[in-house]
Amino acid sequence: MDSLIKKIHQAHQNSSDFPTPKTIHQFFEDLLGLMFPEFSAHNIREEDAVRSNLEELQASLTHILSRNLHLHSGDGEQLAQSFFKRLETVFDWINQDVEAMFAGDPAAKSRAEILRSYPGFYAISAYRIANLLHRLGVTLVPRMITEYAHSKTGVDIHPGATIGQYFCIDHGTGVVIGETTIIGDHVKIYQGVTLGALSVDKADADVKRHPTIEDHVVIYSGATILGGRTVIGKNSVIGGNVWLTKSVAPGSKVYYQTQMHHEAGTATDLYIFKNDFEELGE
């Protein structure tokens, strides 16, 4: 017991003063609820009250960053100001994502339904807010936000990923989007999609390890796309359960098909590549 006590005590001595997960999670949910009253079910009637709430949240972020200087190389107050100056763009882009989800899901009956119940909205919003902090040079806090969303939705988006406008995640569970992924505009992905890396050494952590998905691509459930040199060309459709480690030309359709051989009672797995736009269905 004495040995364990010494080890735990030493761990406490070596620990940095990080913000608690509860503090970061509360900041994120308060900010999301302020921007989207349908999410929080709390309507603010006065414009001055909106201003007051934003100022309180800015003060909260200033406190977090000023207390944890090891998480960034700048001034906490200036970083918080920069975050809130750029927040309007994040707000506009999240609204575009909501539009994409509503347009892309026939089951969605209203905007309120998406804001209150869709995991894609929650996960993408967490990513957009975390990505802004990440681009401002803040460490750890962005990951705490996206991992919180991951725990609630099953959608794992690294805050360092680059994701364009009108992004739609349908259903969502099991989606993984790696740190150096680049996603263009008007991209739609379904549950179980992995945009990941081929195995690399730790020394290669700073190189592009994850794929590039160009504009107007649809990726169906269970597809796995790996590698920093892998590019999915614009207007392509990637079918369910496809495994790709090589690039696909624009306008392609790639899907997995099992071909039965009745005379032998066996099946052969095929990957079919086409350059037309037949509907795959969900």
Dihedral, CA of residue 86, residue 92, residue 95 and residue 100, to nearest 10: -110
Which class is domain 16-154?
mainly alpha
Instruction: Decide the pairing of beta strands 162-163 and 224-226.
Output: unpaired
User: Tens digit of pLDDT for each residue in 33-71?
Assistant: 999 998 876 778 899 999 999 999 999 999 999 988 888
User: Tens digit of pLDDT for each residue in 231-243?
Assistant: 999 999 999 999 9
Pick from 129, 157, 154: which is nearest to 28 by CA?
129
Q: Indicate the pTM of the whole model.
A: 0.88
Write down the pLDDT at residue 160: 98
Write down the CATH number for the domain with range 174-282: 2.160.10.10
Q: Considering just the CA atoms, what is the radius of gyration of the chain in Å? A: 22
Q: Domain coordinates of the chain in residue numbers? A: 16-154, 174-282
Paired tokens of 126? 């967490």
pLDDT at 270 over 70: no
CA-to-CA separations, 124 to 24, 65, 76, 165, 172, in angstroms, rounded: 17, 23, 25, 11, 10
The model's confidence at residue 116, banded by pLDDT at 50, 70 and 90, is very high
